[in-house]
Amino acid sequence: MERLKSNGGEHDNPVYDSTLDGPTIYDTNFSNDEHRTVRPSVVSAFGHDTLDRVPNIDFYRNAGSVSGHRAVRPSLQELHNVFQKVCNGAISVPDTVADDGEGSDGTPSDDLESAVPADDAKSPVKFGWIRGVLVRCMLNIWGVMLFIRLSWIFGQAGWGLGVVVIVLSCVVTTITGLSMSAICTNGVVRGGGAYYMISRSLGPEFGGSIGLIFAFANAVAVAMYVVGFAETVVELLKENAAIMVDEINDIRIIGCITVVLLLVISVAGMEWEAKAQILLLVILLAAIVNVFVGTFIPATEEKKSIGIFNYQLNVFLENFPPDFRDGESFFSVFAIFFPAATGILAGANISGDLKDPQGAIPKGTLLAILITALTYVAVALSVSATVVRDATGNITDLVTDGISCEGSTAFAACEFGYNFSSCAVEKCNFGLMNTNQVMTMVSGFGPLIIAGTFSATLSSALASLVSAPKVFQALCKDNIYTILHFFAKGYGKNNEPIRGYVLTFIISVAFILIGNLNAIAPIISNFFLASYALINFSCFHASYAKSPGWRPAYKFYNMWLSLLGALLCCVVMFVINWWAALLTYGIEILLYIYVTVKKPDVNWGSSTQAVTFVSAVSNALSLSGVEDHVKNFRPQILAMTGSARARPALLDLAHSLTKNYGLCLTCEVIVGPRSEVLEEMNSGMEKNQLWLRKTKRKAFYAAVACDHFRQGAESLLQASGLGRMKPNILMVGFQRNWKTAGTEAVQSYVGVLHDAFDFEYGTVILRMDQGLNVSHIVEAEEETLKAAKEQQALDKDIMLNGGKPKGLFRKSKKSSKQVLTTRVSVCGPPPLQVAKMNERLLEASAQFKKKQPKGTIDVWWLFDDGGLTLLLPYILTTRKKWKDSKLRIFIAGQPGRCEQDKQEMKSLLEKFRINCTDIEVIDNIHIQPSAESFRKLEDMIAPFCLRDGSKDVAQAEAMRKEQPWKITDEELSSFEEKTNLQVRLNEVLQEHSKSANLIIVSMPIARKESVSDFLYMAWLDILTKDLPPTLLIRGNHKSVLTFYS
């Protein structure tokens, strides 16, 4: 509950947390190997000597920043604390410090908000927005769709709906691009692309689940693109009768060789990979230009026979309406086209290799979407204006004299003298609908289209082969999946993920050899779409949270447009393939649950935290507008535990009562001069809350620093909580040492109970024979751990100097429990007794953490306090640990009407819907206690009795003034019956409840300024003496139970 003295600390100037992506967190301790260079105060811009510093970017850098030296501003304490005077009377001005990198793990943080000059030979290769983003995105979006399937799509949908297909696809990708632009301009972007943006925005749960899916999708996409390339090569081999084994095995052989060559290019470094991409882009652009050139070359008779004419309005108009065949529809055609638009993350995926990701990603991605969309539309419209849907390929299929073209299924071709009406009866081999080689036939030079197809597939495969390891490496670096941390290591000046490249290579080859890629293609498309959906949702979520930290430099976004983009992505997932969409959601949910359960130790300031905070404030405000109702009463406990670890039994019992359904505050009053204890209190806040979280206690830690314990407790009683979420029960441990603690301590303890009653708190006191306070054991454990760390540091220093490890400290071979239980106290009993006492204390302290054995909770509901004495034990029986403990109710009854009292209580419990195994009426409480029991009380209060009855009035008055806290004879006489009742109750409790798991008893109340503090403590002591764990409960006499619905 309290600490009498601060242990002090070595805190002079705080440092940042070394977590690269975390917020600025101050630490209070430095290890032996950490040091700082002293920088004296300087003459500032204000013209005088000062410690204050003007705003500077170096104060805001993370530890280990490679873009500049991090500085540490003077602490508030340095500026605010009293000046220290030196011996000559002068004032000593504390020095401020410059950071020298302590707290960093030695790994650069990739904090590249500004470039720093570096040795060209050692500096990593960084790309601008054109080579790094624009080129990669265009190559990924211009896939084989452009040369093989685009003509078929416009044949089925007509150019009217075909343009709608492209525009709708671009709407989804453009909204995603806008959302991504907003996210990546809201702070420094490092390696990891989509994973980095989602994880830093929505948190590790979403980021970890989508990161793994996204990396896997890219790895399998390598196999898909390579197989597309291999199939084209095999077609050429087949035409030239050069098949090596058979078609399937030839695809596998060519595919594996291709992946090996791509891997070599990737491993050689990003610079070589970028050069290869430029070469492929040149080929691809030449192929696209070749298509346009071909449409202007006058069509030969042979070309006309296969349905290719020069630009003709009739052909263009005939191809406008849709002509869906073979069960195709708008949505099926859209599902086939949309995967071509999923290359917009190619640039973002190498965000760690960009010079300025914040500027490059928005500019390059959005421009790539615009250029590729216009290219797709232009190529498609050109082909739609020059090629008819069906053609026989037979030069002799001409229109004969006398045959009218009206009503012909191939009206445009008929007008140009060709009769393709037979295609309505039997399938033809040429035209937009019947062949995938339309682009080759239309182009000016056919082989260049084949080269363009090769370029499109290889560039997409190369981009995916680079993206997958980069994203995977970023995921592994964050250590969300500890088993994958092996793949976090990078090599070379670009920190290349060689291990990730090898893993991606293995996955790709496996799918080339065994995979049915037609079946897996929808799943991969859905994986990409899930990433897009989360990018859009991240932008919406961050905007919705209205966190002050959400300040994207890119302003052309809208939160509702981002939400629409997320919903569109989800809809498109089902349009492409409903079972693949369900599978994607299922995998993502499982990974999300896994990461949530594992609770990775990261804090990225996600929008999820911001929204949680906003929701909490909103709900608290909503509650404040609603009056409390007895049906919704729940215990909200302020437990005076001291530090979170000091009284585990008290905390565990409080936690059992509140669990996840009520407020539990574990509170500490640190007693001492504020200047001495304030630092200790501040440093203990985070440590105690962290311990509560790690031990899964759903509680909050609160502490106050005061000169007096009662004053601090009073502050907590009055100020704790928020709106309706404030404590209504004070829970304290019984002060076992009240007879030796001193007058001030007893007055303070009893005063807190009086304050609780004044503030209308329900009050609960827990007594256990072994005691509750294990703070001396905790302190000894911390000392042992500190000594062990010092020994390790000493050994390390000696080893570095070439010596043998030796020193004053030795790491104990015993367990901490053995060390602690043999801790010797100078003034205490012999060590063996101390060990046994501590062992019993530790065992008792863990009693309420374990599952309770079969037994009873005995409730002695002697006084009606509003029902709290009955409600709390009932709540305990609903908890898993206490489910084998049954309620027994004991009430006081008058002689001769026990059965009637029992039936009345039974009826009341039934109305309250509270089950109990037995109701016992005790009708002999009123009799006098035994002489032996009363003698125990007399011995207990003897040192505190004034014994003024035999003195004359003046002498007695003088004695009362001199020792006002002592128990007078008049007081003993006035409260004789109540004193006897406590002694008698103990006898009855010994008789009926000696074997109970827990005893609940109505707490006696001491009237202020009538009952002395020592007499009240004697009442509480004698009432609960030599019993199993006992709870004294007194409600605030407002109903907490009701039998109305």
> What pLDDT, in 10s, does the model give residues 111-151?
433 334 444 445 667 788 888 889 888 888 887 788 888 88
Question: What band does 423 get if pLDDT is binned at 50, 70 and 90?
Answer: confident
Q: What is the pLDDT of residues 488-544, one digit of tens each?
A: 888 877 778 888 889 999 988 988 887 566 667 788 888 888 888 988 998 898 888
**Mean pLDDT, rounded, for 606-629:** 84
SS3 content of the chain, % helix, strand, coil (to 5): 55, 10, 35
Q: What is the mean pLDDT of residues 855-880?
A: 92
pLDDT for the residue numbered 404:
56
Predicted confidence band of residue 756 (pLDDT cuts 50, 70, 90):
very high
Cα separation, 716 vs 732, in Å, equals 13
Q: Phi and psi of 835, rounded to 5°?
A: -60, -45
Residue 434's nearest CA partner among 143, 147, 156, 146 is 156
Q: Which residues contact 1043 (CB under 8 A, 6 or more apart)?
A: 911, 912, 913
Per-residue confidence (pLDDT) for residue 122, from 0 to 100: 54
User: Taking a C-beta distance cutoff of 8 angstroms, is the pair 56, 640 a contact?
Assistant: no
The pLDDT assigned to 805 comes to 46
pLDDT tens, position by position, 468-483: 888 888 888 888 888 8
Residue 99 to residue 102: CA distance in whole angstroms: 7
Sign of CA dihedral 588, 593, 598, 601: positive
Q: Take residue 861 and report the two structure tokens written for it.
A: 């509901």
- What is residue 592's predicted lDDT score, i.e. its pLDDT? 86
Show the tokens assigned to 199: 């994880």
| Mean pLDDT in residue range 722-740 | 91
CA distance 650 to 848: 9
| Confidence check: pLDDT of 36 > 70 | no
The band of 803, judged by pLDDT with boundaries at 50, 70 and 90, is low
In the prediction, which pLDDT does 661 show?
87
State how far Cα 791 lies from the chain centre. 36
Q: What angle do CA 771, 774, 780 make, to 5 degrees?
A: 150
Q: What pLDDT does residue 45 have?
A: 63
Q: 244 by DSSP, 3-state: which? A: coil
Are the CB atoms for 521 and 335 separated by under 8 Å? Answer: no
Alpha-carbon distance 332 to 337, whole Å?
A: 9
8 A C-beta contact, residue 454 and residue 462: no
Average of pLDDT values for 221-230? 84
Largest CA distance in the chain: 149
Based on the number of CB atoms within 10 Å of its own CB, is 183 exposed (0-12), middle (13-18) or buried (19 or more)? buried
In angstroms, the CA 563 to CA 513 distance is: 40
In three-state secondary structure terms, 775 is: helix
Residue with tokens 């999820």: 608
Residue-level pLDDT at 812 = 40
Residue reference for tokens 């020069």? 310
Q: Is the pLDDT of residue 14 over 60?
A: no
Which range among 212-226, 408-422, 430-444 shows the weakest confidence by mean pLDDT? 408-422
The mean-pLDDT minimum among 9-18, 243-252, 375-384, 1031-1040 falls in: 9-18
Is the pLDDT assigned to residue 32 strictly greater than 60? no
**Cα–Cα distance measured from residue 689 to residue 8, given in angstroms and rounded to the nearest whole number:** 20
CA dihedral 546, 548, 552, 557 (to 10 degrees): 20
> In this prediction, what percent of the chain has a pLDDT beyond 90?
24
* pLDDT band at residue 409 under the 50/70/90 scheme: low
Which residue is it, tokens 């305990």? 876
* Residue 367 burial (C-beta neighbours within 10 Å; 0-12, 13-18, 19+): middle
d(C-alpha 884, C-alpha 878), whole Å: 10
Listed in sequence order, the residues at least 6 apart from 905 whose beta carbon sits closer than 8 Å to its beta carbon are: 889, 891, 919, 921
Strand partners, 387: 308
Mean pLDDT of 901-905: 91
Element (H, E) at 729: strand 729-733
Q: What does the pLDDT read at residue 802?
A: 56
Helix (H, G, I), strand (E, B) or coil at 842: helix
Average pLDDT score over residue span 46-54: 70
The rounded distance, in Å, linking the Cα atoms of 444 and 447 is 9
Residue 64: the pLDDT is 53
Please say whether the beta carbons of 160 and 180 come within 8 A.
no
Q: Name the DSSP class of 355.
A: S
Greater model confidence, 402 or 130:
130
First to last CA, the chain: 40
Can you say whether residue 773 is alpha, beta or left, with left for phi > 0 and alpha for psi between -120 and 50 degrees?
A: beta
Cα atoms in the 13 Å half-sphere on the side-chain side of 844: 21
3-class secondary structure, 27: strand
Model confidence at 37: pLDDT above 80? no
Q: Is pLDDT at 1034 greater than 50 in this prediction?
A: yes
Among 254, 219, 260, residue whose Cα is nearest residue 236: 254
Cβ(13)–Cβ(26) under 8 Å? no
- The whole-number average pLDDT for the span 886-914 is 90
More confident call, 900 vs 798: 900
For 65-69, 221-225, 675-679, 743-747, which range has the lowest pLDDT when averaged over its residues? 65-69
Q: What is the DSSP string of 846-912?
A: TGGGSPPPSEEEEEE--S-SSSHHHHHHHHHHTSGGGTTEEEEEEEE--TT-HHHHHHHHHHHHHHH
Residue 773: the pLDDT is: 86
pLDDT digits (tens, 9 = 90+) for 338-355: 888 888 888 888 877 788
Whole-prediction pTM? 0.72
Mean of pLDDT values over 39-63: 67
Q: Could you tell me if 659 and 635 are in contact, meaning their C-beta atoms sit under 8 angstroms apart? A: no
pLDDT confidence of residue 403? 59
Provide the angle, in degrees to the nearest 10, between the axes of the packed helices 247-267 and 204-239: 130
Amino acid at 259: V
Burial of 46-68, coded b for 16+ CB within 10 Å and e otherwise, reads eeeebbebeeeeeeebbbbbebb
Q: Take residue 562 and report the two structure tokens written for it.
A: 């981002």
Measure the CA–CA gap between 493 and 120, rounded to whole angstroms: 11
Alpha-carbon gap, residue 325 to 745, rounded angstroms: 92
Distance CA 748, CA 763 (A): 16
User: What is the pLDDT of the chain when averaged over all its residues?
Assistant: 81
Per-residue pLDDT band at 667 (split at 50, 70, 90): very high
- Give the angle subtended at the CA of 181 by the CAs of 180 and 182, to the nearest 5°: 90
Which spans in 185-203 are helix H? 193-202
Q: What is the pLDDT of residues 914-949, one digit of tens each?
A: 999 999 999 888 889 999 998 999 899 988 888 876
Tell me the mean pLDDT in the region 1008-1023: 92
CA distance 271 to 253: 28
pLDDT of 6 > 50? The answer is no
Report the chain's C-alpha Rg in angstroms.
40
Mean pLDDT of 727-738: 93
Question: What is the Cα–Cα distance from 33 to 78, expressed in whole angstroms?
Answer: 23
pLDDT value for 342:
81
One-letter amino acid of 878: T
pLDDT at 461: 86
Q: Which helix (H) or strand (E) holds 655?
A: helix 648-658
For residue 268, pLDDT over 60 is answered with yes
Does position 714 have pLDDT exceeding 90, yes or no? yes
What is the DSSP annotation of 274-320?
Answer: HHHHHHHHHHHHHHHHHHHHHHHSPPPHHHHHTTB-SS-HHHHHHTS
**CA 731 – CA 722 distance, rounded (Å):** 19
Quickly tell me which residue has 């290579």 as its tokens: 505
What does the alpha-carbon distance between residue 66 and residue 31 come to, in Å, rounded to a whole number? 23
Distances (CA, A) of 699 to 167, 175, 599, 616, 923: 53, 42, 18, 16, 42
